[in-house]
Amino acid sequence: MARHKEFDTTVVLSKAMYLFWKHGYEGTSIQDLVNHVGIKAQSLYNAFGGKRELFLAALRYYADHSTTVRILDSTPSGKEAIATVFREVSAIFSGPDGSKGCFLINSNVEMAPHDAEIADFLEKERTRAIDAYYRALTRAKEQGELHERHQDLMALARYLSNAQGGLAITAKTSSGRMILDDIVRVTLSILD
């Protein structure tokens, strides 16, 4: 008879995600994971396969719980959707966990150059965000919220996605909500 799993996979993923997010892949050992998530190493291997597989699962978990695409797709006003994303990101990055930046951006810098599967996953997530910005911009244009000079909405979507990533990096290297709010204000002014 197979042994029954004695832990909640979601709780383990959440705890592992925060540890990887804080310390990075290379900065997190199996022992760190075991100590932090509260399960034995063998249980971790049985459930996830290994550290790299757990890291990928944690990336997927983070992406699945990210609010950017949801906000961009669910807010009726395209321009307000974009503003909401940037205001929320600034608030999160100004909070107690803000100095960690964005787990996806951090992982892109650390892992994508060395791991094709992780790079592919992160590229798909980046594309998903850009496409959501594009949909919001399309709504904004249809609603008359964008200046007529904005013709290349895909280029603008890429710019906004990049600006959001830059905000995440700035949050890791500087302190203060004022700095992040200044960046958000200038970024959003491009939509006027």
Name the percent of the chain lying above pLDDT 70. 97
The parts of the chain modelled with pLDDT lower than 70 are 1-5, 175
Question: Helix axis angle, 9-23 relative to 30-37, nearest 10°?
Answer: 130
Q: Which pLDDT score, from 0 to 100, does residue 5 have?
A: 62
Q: What is the sign of the dihedral through the CA atoms of 20, 24, 30 and 31?
A: negative
Both 139 and 170 in a single domain? yes
pLDDT recorded at residue 175? 67
pLDDT at position 1 is 47
CA atoms in the 13 A half-sphere facing the CB of 82: 32
CATH number of the domain encompassing residue 37: 1.10.10.60
Residues 56 and 122 in one domain: no
**Residue 109 vs residues 14, 20, 29, 39, 120: alpha-carbon distances, Å:** 21, 13, 19, 29, 13
Residue pair 131/104 in contact by the 8 Å Cβ criterion: no
> Can you give the residue range of the structural domain that contains 45?
9-61
Contacts of 153 (CB under 8 A, 6+ apart): 134, 137, 138, 141
Same-domain status, 78 and 163: yes
CA-to-CA dists, residue 144 to 77, 80, 116, 139, 150, angstroms: 10, 12, 41, 9, 11
Number of C-beta neighbours around residue 73 at 10 A: 13
Tell me what pLDDT residue 149 has: 87
Instruction: Please tell me the pTM assigned to this model.
Output: 0.91
> What does the block give as tokens for 102?
């964005």
Q: Indicate which CATH number applies to the domain containing 124.
A: 1.10.357.10
Number of domains in the chain: 2
Residue 178 belongs to a domain: yes
